[in-house]
């Protein structure tokens, strides 16, 4: 056990002893800072998390060097409208696919008003995209439009588009989850939307974003850290963010090695209240992060069944259910996650 880990555990114990929480309650602790080199931050996500990863990448392109996106469409696809999100941006007809031209115009407009970074920063980014051939929740044509959007801004040599994996709508792994073509049922609590396709999306996207990586760990040496998200967004539950977030910290990073940060956004119905630790332990990132000095930040949503924030599936805000500025740097969830990234990276020396 490292000294940092021991300090963290003692701090959490002190909180528990002082506040005397109910039995079974694990008090989240303050998110630590680590020796994170500038220029090594990347993001990824599946479904609503894919939309969140895209808008985070675009909005903060001066500091986010790349994105890996599964089953999502182009920037500002929903146009602030839930009906558009559930049609054009997921299961469109031939008459209403996502409008790439509109996405580009909004990008340019937001940048001109300094509400996001200049899109010229995107040129040197690295982008990895996946659309499962059996995905009936976000049609491949939607993901095609994401590919077109990125080709407008990013050096074409830096983009990889994987569209041959026979996956249903899911986080695609090489060793965990349902059968590859299993179409999850949101009403079935046993469906976790993680499918074993003998293909590691997490590993492939990380290797595309960072270059050649060491082989993944067979046994993890790091720690899953539980942290308090209310430090980054007051009263997070009222904005459909969970009170607790998670991070995977490799032992080398805990010991002070120079590391990098990757943010992994879960999809709808993958929040801990529904699937427990399945995403942040089994989506496939941690074993690659462990051997390659990558801290994986897992921010978390929570479902909300009642207005004014109606988000019954625990999705990320990519259509404006909580905030009309959802795709801008000052969007509540965007700003909260950016502040988490800044905290993790604040220990560079």
Active-site amino acid positions: 47, 135, 169
Centre a 10 Å sphere on the Cβ of residue 96 and count the other Cβ atoms it contains: 12
Torsion angles phi and psi, residue 338, rounded to 5: -60, -40
Q: How many residues can be counted in the chain?
A: 349
Integer Cα distance of 49 and 12 in angstroms: 29
Cβ pair 44, 205 in contact under 8 A: yes
Token pair belonging to 195: 């499918």
DSSP 8-state symbol, 311: B
DSSP code of residue 338:
H
Cα within 13 Å of Cα(108), Cβ side: 9
Phi, psi of 230, rounded to the nearest 5 degrees: -70, -15
Classify burial at 329, counting beta carbons within 10 Å of its beta carbon; exposed 0-12, middle 13-18, buried 19 or more.
middle
* Long-range pairs, 19-22, Cβ under 8 A, ≥24: none
Q: Where are the beta strands (DSSP E) in 71-150?
A: 126-130
- How many beta carbons lie within 10 A of that of residue 218, not counting itself? 8
Query: What are the tokens at 32?
Result: 């630590």
**Chain centroid, CA 298 distance in Å:** 7
> Could you identify the residue written with the tokens 């976790």?
192
Helix, strand or coil, per DSSP, at residue 236: helix
Query: Quick one: tokens of 35?
Result: 């020796």
Q: Are 36 and 348 in contact (CB under 8 A)?
A: yes
């Amino acid at each position: 056990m490292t000294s940092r880990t021991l300090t963290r555990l003692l701090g959490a114990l002190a909180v528990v002893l002082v506040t005397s929480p109910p039995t079974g309650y694990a008090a989240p602790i303050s998110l630590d800072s680590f020796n994170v080199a500038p220029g090594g931050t990347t993001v990824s996500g599946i479904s609503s998390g894919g939309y969140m990863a895209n808008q985070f990448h675009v909005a903060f392109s001066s500091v986010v060097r790349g994105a890996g996106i599964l089953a999502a469409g182009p920037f500002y696809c929903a146009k602030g409208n839930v009906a558009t999100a559930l049609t054009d941006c997921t299961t469109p007809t031939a008459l209403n696919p996502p409008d790439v031209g509109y996405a580009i115009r909004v990008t340019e407009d937001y940048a001109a008003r300094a509400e996001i970074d200049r899109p010229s920063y995107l040129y040197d980014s690295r982008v990895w995209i996946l659309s499962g051939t059996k995905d009936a929740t976000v049609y491949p044509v939607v993901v095609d439009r994401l590919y077109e959007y990125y080709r407008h801004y990013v050096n074409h040599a830096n983009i990889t588009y994987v569209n041959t994996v026979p996956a249903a709508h899911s986080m695609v792994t090489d060793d965990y989850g349902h059968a590859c073509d299993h179409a999850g049922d949101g009403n079935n609590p046993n469906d976790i939307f993680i499918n074993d396709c003998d293909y590691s999306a997490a590993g492939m996207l990380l290797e595309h974003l960072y270059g050649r990586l060491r082989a993944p760990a067979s046994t993890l040496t790091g720690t899953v850290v539980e942290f308090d998200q209310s430090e980054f967004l007051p009263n997070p539950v009222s904005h459909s963010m969970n009170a607790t977030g998670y991070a995977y910290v490799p032992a080398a990073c805990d010991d002070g090695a120079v590391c990098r940060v990757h943010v992994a956004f879960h999809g709808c119905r993958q929040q801990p209240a529904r699937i427990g630790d399945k995403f942040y332990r089994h989506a496939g990132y941690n074993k690659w992060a462990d051997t390659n000095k990558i801290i994986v930040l897992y921010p978390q949503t929570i479902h909300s069944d009642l207005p004014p924030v109606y988000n019954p599936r625990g999705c990320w805000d990519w259509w404006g259910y909580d905030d009309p500025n959802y795709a801008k740097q000052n969007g509540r969830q965007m700003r909260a996650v950016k502040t988490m990234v800044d905290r993790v990276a604040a220990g560079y020396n």
